[in-house]
Structure 1
Amino acid sequence: MSGLVFPHTFVPWFRAVAPYIHAYRGETFVVGMAGEMIAAGKLSSFAQDLALMHAMGIRIVLVHGFRPQVDEQLRLKGHPAKYHRGLRVTDAVALDCAQEAAGQLRFEIEAAFSQGLPNTPMANATLRVVSGNFLTAKPVGIIDGIDHEHSGYVRRVDGVGIQNALNAGALVLLSPFGFSPTGEAFNLTMEDVATATAIALQADKLIFMTETPGIHEQPDDPTSAIDTELALADAERLLARWPEPALPTDPGFYLRHCVRACRAGVDRSHILPFSVDGALLQEVYTHDGIGTMLVDEKLENLREATSDDVSSLIALIEPFEREGALVKRDRTEIERDIDHYTIVEHDGVIFGCAALYPYVEAGTAEMAALTVSPLSQGQGDGERLLKRIEQRAKAMGLKSLFVLTTRTMHWFIKRGFQQVDPEWLPEERKRKYNWDRRSQVLVKPLV
C-alpha cells in the first residue's frame, strides 16, 4: 500500500531528528546553489527541502549560480564563453546573457517556492521570497593582462537589509549580480556572493550544493571515502598542496571559499552533492551527514557532564534500560551522580556516556552505564569514552578498572579486560551485586 507509514520506523526516526530541529531553530543558513543543479532538474525537490527547513525555524538565504545558463545563452548567440583562472570574462554580450539568465532563474526559483501541490512538502506552506539590491560590487579589473570588464567581486553586503527580511519570515534570494555606487552592473560568482553574505551575517552555516560529493579522505584517490568532517587547519594544508583551483570540479574550488568563511567567523561550512536526493536534509538532520563539513575545530567533544545534561542522559540511556542491556537508574540517582559521568557530544547533541565510580580503598573503579547511541555506533565513541574513563581512574591513583556486563563481554575482552569471579569485587560493590542478573565481571589493569 503506497504512502503507508510504519510507526516502528517513523517514530524512532522522528525522535532522532528532534534534537537537530531544536538546535537549529532560529539559526541562519546561507545556501549556495550551483547553476548546474538547476540545469539537472533538481530545483523542485530542493525547494521543497528548503521549505521544510524554513518551516522548522531555520532562516535561509539562497544564492543561485548560473554558469551553464549563461554559457547556453552565449552559445545561442554564437558568442564564445571566455574564462581566465576559472573566472568569467564578462564583455557586453556576456553581461546581457547573464542578465537574461538571472531573470529567468529568479522566475523559476520563485515559482518553485510558490507551488502548493497536495501531498507534497509544499502543501499548506506559506513561504515568501524576497530579493533586492543587497550587494555592492567592485570590478575584478585586469589580471595577467586580461581585462575582465564587467566581472566583479563583492564589495559590501547589506546585512541589515537581509536581516530585516529574515526577521519578517521571508527567504532571501540573491542573484550573482552587484552594482557599483554609480549604478554599473557587475557579474559576480555564486561562491563569492554566498561566502561574503555568510560572513556579513555571521551565519551559522554556509552550504554549497555542488557537482562534487565533498573532500575525499585520500584527496589524491577519488575512489576513497568522503571526509565528513574536516578541521580548518587540515583544510588549509590541503589547499597548500593543490594548484589554484579554477574549475568547480577541482577539489579545492569550493573548499577555499569554506576556509575563507571559517577564518572570518562562520562556524561551519559544507560541501554537498546535489546529485543525491535530499542531501541537504541528510547533512543537517543526521549525525554523520553526507558531504564534507569544515569546522574551526572538531565538533566532537568529550567532556565531563553537568547538571544541564541530565535530561539528555536519561533520554540516551532509557532505551537500553528497557531492553535490559543496562541497569535501571532513576533521575534522582543520575542527578546525584552527574559528576561521575563523561559524555560524547557532537554539535551540541549527546551521543554517548559512561560513568566512573571509584573504590579508593580497594584501588579500583567501576565503569558503568557505558552507552553509545545507535545513530553513532561504529564511529569509535565507545573507545573514546573508555580511554577517558581510564585516564580519570589513573589520575585518582587507581590500579584497575572493572565493568559488569550481560551482553558486551567480548567488546571489553578485545580491549584488554579479563573475566573474574564476582567474588573479586570490592566488598561495598559486592553487596550491591545482583546475583539474579548474573552480570559478567571483567577487570583491566591500569598501567
Structure 2
Amino acid sequence: MSAVFDFTFVPWFRSVAPYIHMHRGKTFVVGIAGEAIAAGKLPNLAQDLALIQSMGVRIVLVHGFRPQVNEQLAAKGHAPHYSHGMRITDGVALDCAQEAAGQLRFEIEAAFSQALPNTPMAGATVRVISGNFITARPVGILDGIDFQHSGLVRKVDVAGITQTLTAGSMVLISPFGFSPTGEAFNLTMEEVATSVATALQADKLLFVTETPGIRIRPMEPESEDNPIDTELPLDAAKQLLATLPHTTDPSDIAFYLQHCVKACETGVERSHILPFAVDGSLLLEVYMHDGIGTMVVDEKLESLREATHEDVGGILQLIEPFEKDGTLVKRDRNEIERDVGQYTVIEHDGVIFACAALYPYPEAQTAEMAALTVSPQSQGQGDGEKVLKRIEQRARNKGLKSIFVLTTRTKHWFLKRGFVQVDPDWLPEARKRKYNTDRRSLVLVKKL
C-alpha cells in the first residue's frame, strides 16, 4: 500500500502544487451552461468550485438558463424564437426567464450550502453573494426584428464585485441586467461572463459547456491521441472564427469560441472551453498542464527568451529524461550553471517547456546548437521550431555563417529544417577533440 501512495499520490501532488501556488489570489470567471445544470452536473461542479476557491482563487460564477427557459416556454405552449444568435424575449419569454433564473439561483445556492461529510465539501463554508451587478441596455431593432426585452451589457459593477470577492465570497450572476429606470433585460450567459471577465481583467474565463473543445491541427495518429487542441493561439482562433458562420447552436464551434476570442482581445489572459460531460473538468483544466478542454491564449504570454540562473532547475528537470534514455549527452548542474547564458528557453506559466544552448566557435565561423529539448507535454506545437529560429538569430547576431548539431535519433527533424549531413571531420578542431566516437553521433550543418 505504501508503494502505491509513493508512486501515485506524491508525484501527482508535486505536479499539481505549482499550479495551486500560481493561481492563488487570481480571479476566475466561470460560465456554466444551463445544459450542464439540466444534465445533473451541478453538485459536482459546486464541489469543484468550492475546492478551487479554498485554494485561494476568487470566483465569479455566471449561470446560463437556455434549456430551463425553453422548458418554461414549452409548459406555457409558447415556442422560443431566435435571431442574430440571440433569443427574442417577448413578455412571455421574460416571465419564463425570471422564473427559471430564480429557480436556478435557489438550486445553486443550495448546492454550495451542502457541507457534506466525507466529500470535498466537508467543513466548507462557501458564501455565495448575488446582486444587481449588471446594468443593461436593450438590443432594440435589428434588420427589422424587435428583440423586445433582450438586452446587452452596458456596464459591470466592478467595485461591487471586487468588494464581494475581497470579503471572501463567491459572486453569483444571473444573465439578467437592469436599466437605470429599473427595466429588466434578458441577457446571454456568454456575453455576461465575457463582459464581467473583461471588466475585472480576470486571469481566466472558463466556459463549462456541451462542447468538448476545438481541433484545428491535423491529427497525427502515430504520435497523438488527443482529439482537441488543448492550446489555441489567439491568431489561429481568430482565423478559424472568420471562416465560421454565426450560430445559435451551443454545440457549434463558433458559439463559445467568439467569446473566448473577444475576452483575450480585451485583456483576459486565457479563456477556456471545457466539457461538462467530463467529471472534474474544471480541476483538470486549472491544475494540470494539458488540461481537458481548449484554451485560447495570446502567444505573447509565452516567453521565448535567454535563460537566467533561476532557470537552471527547470532546464535540468526538462532534459533529465532525455539524458536517461540516451537521446542527450548527460550534463551536470555545474556545467549548466556555468553555461546558462548560452541557453534559450520557452517558459510558460513558470515552467520550462523547451530549451537549447548555443556554443560558438568563432574561429570557424560556426556554432553548435546543443541540448535542443522539448517537453513531451508540448511536442507537436512548434516549440522546437521557435527555439531553433531564436538560436539561428543569435548565431547571425554573432556574425556566424552556420550552426551544427550532433544527434543520434533526430536526424530527419533537422533535415526537414534545412540541415545537411556532413562527415565528423568537418567539425571545428576544438569540437572535434571532444567528439565521442562511441556515440557515433551524426553531424548536421545548416548555413545561415
* TM-score of the pair, normalised by structure 1: 0.85
Q: For the Cα contact (< 8 Å) 2:112–2:126, is it kept in 1?
A: yes
Q: For the Cα contact (< 8 Å) 2:28–2:57, is it kept in 1?
A: yes
> What are the Cα deviations for residues 27-74 of structure 1, in whole angstroms up to 9, with x where unaligned?
111111110011011112222222222222221111000011111122
Would the alpha carbon gap of residues 305 and 112 (structure 1) be closer, same or farther in structure 2, given more than 3 Å must change?
A: same
Would the alpha carbon gap of residues 230 and 380 (structure 1) be closer, same or farther in structure 2, given more than 3 Å must change?
A: closer
Cross-structure match for 1:329 = 332
Where in structure 2 are the equivalents of 1:19-34 lying within 5 Å? 19-34=18-33
Would the alpha carbon gap of residues 167 and 315 (structure 1) be closer, same or farther in structure 2, given more than 3 Å must change?
A: farther
Structure 2 residue 38 is the aligned partner of structure 1 residue 39: yes
Would the alpha carbon gap of residues 323 and 145 (structure 1) be closer, same or farther in structure 2, given more than 3 Å must change?
A: closer
Distance 2:311 2:287 in 1: 21
Would the alpha carbon gap of residues 433 and 260 (structure 1) be closer, same or farther in structure 2, given more than 3 Å must change?
A: closer
Q: 1:229 aligns with which of 228, 231, 239?
A: 231
Distance 2:138 2:412 in 1: 65
Q: Which amino acid aligns with 2:306?
A: E
Cross-structure match for 1:393 = 395
Distance 1:384 1:218 in 2: 17
> What are the Cα deviations for residues 401-431 of structure 1, in whole angstroms up to 9, with x where unaligned?
45566xxx1213652475866x876554566
Cross-structure match for 2:140 = 141
Q: 1:269 aligns with which of 241, 264, 271?
A: 271
Where in structure 2 are the equivalents of 1:254-293 lying within 5 Å? 254-293=256-295
Structure 2 residue 240 is the aligned partner of structure 1 residue 238: yes
Would the alpha carbon gap of residues 387 and 150 (structure 1) be closer, same or farther in structure 2, given more than 3 Å must change?
A: closer
114-123 or 62-71: bigger deviation: 114-123
- State the SS of the aligned residue for 2:360: strand
Structure 2 residue 441 is the aligned partner of structure 1 residue 441: yes
> What are the Cα deviations for residues 204-247 of structure 1, in whole angstroms up to 9, with x where unaligned?
1212122222333179xxxx953433343443343333333233
Q: For the Cα contact (< 8 Å) 1:64–1:174, is it kept in 2?
A: yes
Distance 1:16 1:246 in 2: 39
Cross-structure match for 1:113 = 112
- State the SS of the aligned residue for 2:441: strand
Q: Which amino acid aligns with 2:332?
A: R
Cross-structure match for 1:206 = 205
Cross-structure match for 1:354 = 356
> What are the Cα deviations for residues 322-374 of structure 1, in whole angstroms up to 9, with x where unaligned?
777552422x5433322100112234421121212222224443333333334
Q: For the Cα contact (< 8 Å) 1:404–1:439, is it kept in 2?
A: no
How far residue 155 of structure 1 moved from its aligned partner, in angstroms, is: 1.5
Cross-structure match for 2:249 = 247
Distance 2:71 2:28 in 1: 30
Distance 2:446 2:243 in 1: 42
Q: 1:366 aligns with which of 365, 368, 382?
A: 368
How far residue 138 of structure 1 moved from its aligned partner, in angstroms, is: 1.7
Where in structure 2 are the equivalents of 1:289-308 lying within 5 Å? 289-297=291-299, 299-308=301-310
Would the alpha carbon gap of residues 239 and 385 (structure 1) be closer, same or farther in structure 2, given more than 3 Å must change?
A: closer
Structure 2 residue 179 is the aligned partner of structure 1 residue 176: no
Cross-structure match for 2:54 = 55
Distance 1:34 1:5 in 2: 38
Q: For the Cα contact (< 8 Å) 1:357–1:367, is it kept in 2?
A: yes
Cross-structure match for 2:223 = none
Distance 2:377 2:212 in 1: 22
- State the SS of the aligned residue for 1:155: strand
Q: For the Cα contact (< 8 Å) 2:34–2:68, is it kept in 1?
A: yes
* TM-score of the pair, normalised by structure 2: 0.85
- State the SS of the aligned residue for 2:249: coil
Distance 1:296 1:252 in 2: 18
Q: Which amino acid aligns with 2:214?
A: I
Distance 1:326 1:287 in 2: 27
Q: For the Cα contact (< 8 Å) 2:175–2:192, is it kept in 1?
A: yes
Distance 1:414 1:143 in 2: 54
How far residue 122 of structure 1 moved from its aligned partner, in angstroms, is: 1.9
Distance 1:296 1:413 in 2: 31
Q: For the Cα contact (< 8 Å) 2:230–2:294, is it kept in 1?
A: yes
Distance 1:143 1:320 in 2: 60
Where in structure 2 are the equivalents of 1:42-121 lying within 5 Å? 42-121=41-120
Q: For the Cα contact (< 8 Å) 1:399–1:445, is it kept in 2?
A: no
Q: For the Cα contact (< 8 Å) 1:32–1:190, is it kept in 2?
A: yes
How far residue 292 of structure 1 moved from its aligned partner, in angstroms, is: 2.7
Would the alpha carbon gap of residues 412 and 13 (structure 1) be closer, same or farther in structure 2, given more than 3 Å must change?
A: farther
Distance 2:91 2:354 in 1: 59
How far residue 148 of structure 1 moved from its aligned partner, in angstroms, is: 2.6
- State the SS of the aligned residue for 2:232: strand
Q: For the Cα contact (< 8 Å) 1:209–1:273, is it kept in 2?
A: yes
Distance 1:285 1:140 in 2: 38
> What are the Cα deviations for residues 290-337 of structure 1, in whole angstroms up to 9, with x where unaligned?
33322333654432213342343344345556777552422x543332
Q: Which amino acid aligns with 1:267?
A: E
224-233 or 24-33: bigger deviation: 224-233
In structure 2, the gaps of 5 or more residues are 219-225
> What are the Cα deviations for residues 256-293 of structure 1, in whole angstroms up to 9, with x where unaligned?
22232223222222222222222223333333333332
Would the alpha carbon gap of residues 410 and 259 (structure 1) be closer, same or farther in structure 2, given more than 3 Å must change?
A: closer
Would the alpha carbon gap of residues 262 and 410 (structure 1) be closer, same or farther in structure 2, given more than 3 Å must change?
A: closer
State the superposition RMSD in angstroms. Answer: 3.1
- State the SS of the aligned residue for 2:172: strand
Would the alpha carbon gap of residues 313 and 125 (structure 1) be closer, same or farther in structure 2, given more than 3 Å must change?
A: farther
- State the SS of the aligned residue for 1:327: coil
In structure 1, the gaps of 5 or more residues are none
Would the alpha carbon gap of residues 55 and 313 (structure 1) be closer, same or farther in structure 2, given more than 3 Å must change?
A: farther
